[in-house]
Amino acid sequence: MVVLFAALLNPSTGGDNILSLLLSLVWFAFLMIFFLYPSFGQRMQLSYMLRDLERKLNKLKIIKDEINQITVETIKRVGKPEKDPAPDINRLSEFFIIQPESMDPYGLVYKLEHILETGESVYEQEVAKLAPHATEHQVKSLTNLVEVLRGINTIYRVVRHYYLLGKKTANIYMVLQIQMVLPQIIEIAESYRQAAVAFSKGQPIGDGVGPLVAAKLVNGMEKERYEIAKDTVVQEIELENRKVYVVRAIGPGGTVGRPGEGVKQLVEKLPENPKLIITIDAALKLEGEETGKIAEGVGVAIGGPGVDKYKIEELAKSRGIPLYAFVIFQSITEAITPMRESIAKAADQVLEKVKQLILEKVKSGESVVVAGIGNTIGVGLG
């Protein structure tokens, strides 16, 4: 301070030196305030974080509104409803499913299956009412589109909740937690936006690589096709005197079918146990891994709530059937957006690996079950 007054009183002192001293004094004052009053610095940091959250929350709202617009326009174009579907679409975006009570785990899988099937059935019925002129396959794809809207709506509501609660309580730790995960949340939201475009146009998505391999396996071969479970078909082919039963969801509508129930019903109807059950599905890759990378192993390659996985595992255990699996790696964005070329090429490679495995592990005259797992939107029957 003394140096500053001396500089001001000395006419020979340059203006640059005075300015430099003033800036130093301001910085020193700020440091003293932060040191003596730490709550002041915390409030400033909280204010900055809330402004950043508000900007990203607005971005989420823009994405949500865009997906909502795509959904409304697609239902109007495909379903040709007599009235504006927007209010009912907003109602469906708040639809929820309550998980069964897990305090007593006995029978939990089948209780969960019942609730999920009820929810799916109700949701499809509601969408069918909104789109009276849509075909059955189109209704399934529109149902997926509305589910995308429901997903982004839930994300937006949760982020908004923590933003407003953090702002209301001035809880910097609560705000910090949501700010740390926001980059991943924004990435998922952008994926939802691309997924909405894919479902509105009926384009195949990355998650459909399992059904795509199954369709390629039966393509050009004599086959018998019949429905084995809801939205799930079996196609019987022969591969060098080996019976191959191919299970997959019915396309080209957006559905994953009931692969667990389908495989269970199929095996129980066969005169003798198949020698293998092979599942093919998409898998979430780690950062740095190549999209379309193929891995093989044992077990049941089925994601989701676990009902279908449980049924196949129980069936295989009780009958002593080996379980083999192939997965194609992709990111969560690639799984729900239009299928990348690298994923489509990987389907051809998996097809050859499946054939090779069957020829190596299954003898002439024996049978095998191959299940292509995934969403069949845009993937027709072979």
The string of pLDDT tens digits covering residues 247-296 is: 999 878 889 999 999 999 999 999 999 999 999 999 999 988 999 999 99
120 token code pair: 């799916």
Per-residue model confidence as pLDDT tens digits over 320-332 = 999 999 999 999 8
What is the pLDDT at residue 8? 45
Residue written as token pair 């699996």: 325
Domain range summary for the chain, segments of one domain joined by +: 2-36, 40-201, 206-372
Query: Which amino acid type is present at position 31?
Result: L
Report d(CA 44, CA 114) in Å as an integer: 51
Sheet of 224-229: strands edge to edge?
224-229, 232-238, 243-249, 367-372, 277-284, 323-330, 294-298
* Beta carbons of 378 and 251 less than 8 angstroms apart: yes
The tokens describing 373, both together, are 């797992």
Q: Give the model's pLDDT for residue 173.
A: 84
Residue 260: name the closest of 314, 335, 214, 336 by CA.
314
Is residue 376 within 8 Å of residue 248, measured between CB atoms?
A: yes
Q: Name the pTM for this structure.
A: 0.84
All residue ranges of the chain with pLDDT < 50 are 1-9, 13
Q: Where are the alpha helices (DSSP H) in the chain?
A: 2-9, 15-36, 38-79, 86-92, 108-130, 136-169, 172-201, 209-218, 259-269, 307-319, 332-336, 341-361
206-372 domain in CATH 3.40.50.1470?
A: yes
Tell me if 204 sits within 8 A of 340, measured CB to CB.
no
